[in-house]
């Protein structure tokens, strides 16, 4: 049920965004039990003029290696589950791709189940 948007500054490695996506999907599965095959992602790479961030907001030192992740998912997860998801993504991106935890920005957007249509003009999760 989640749809994930990942935005990064354009890099020389054309596979980097896809590899970030794989780490995020595996983290979603392990931290909040997203099922197999429930993987929908939009991967964006941007030039300097189209990737804007504050390098020190909230006292966190960010670099141009910043990875911005927005996850839209069903509402209802606990604060503890969300914290586990944030930590899992940041830790795994650091382990697998050497992304500094300070360069991992995550935003969750929670929606009700009836706000999804996975195709055919049908609200598959509507009760």
Q: Where are the domains of the chain?
A: 3-115
pLDDT category at 127 given cuts 50, 70, 90 is confident
Which DSSP category does 123 fall into? -
Inter-residue contact 65 to 123 (CB < 8 Å): no
Q: What is the pLDDT of residue 40?
A: 98
Catalytic residue among 2, 14, 35, 101: 2
Using CA atoms, how far apart are residues 102 and 76, in angstroms rounded to an integer? 27
Edge-to-edge strands of the sheet including 3-9? 40-46, 3-9, 67-74, 104-111
Q: What is the average pLDDT value for the chain, to the nearest integer?
A: 97
Mean pLDDT confidence for 26-51: 97
Q: What is the pLDDT of residues 7-21, one digit of tens each?
A: 999 999 999 999 999
pLDDT category at 115 given cuts 50, 70, 90 is very high
Domain 3-115, CATH: 3.30.429.10
Catalytic, 101? Answer no
């Amino acid at each position: 049920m989640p749809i994930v948007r990942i935005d990064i500054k354009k890099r020389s490695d054309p596979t980097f965004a896809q590899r970030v996506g794989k780490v995020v999907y595996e983290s979603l599965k392990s931290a909040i039990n997203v099922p197999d095959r429930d993987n929908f992602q939009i991967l964006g790479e941007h030039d300097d003029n189209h990737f804007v961030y504050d390098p020190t907001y909230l006292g966190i030192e960010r670099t141009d290696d910043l990875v911005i992740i927005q996850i839209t998912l069903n509402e209802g997860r606990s604060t503890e589950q969300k914290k586990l998801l944030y930590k899992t993504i940041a830790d795994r991106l650091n382990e697998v791709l050497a992304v500094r935890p300070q360069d991992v920005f995550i935003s969750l957007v929670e929606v009700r189940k009836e706000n999804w249509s996975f195709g055919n003009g049908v609200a598959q999760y509507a009760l």
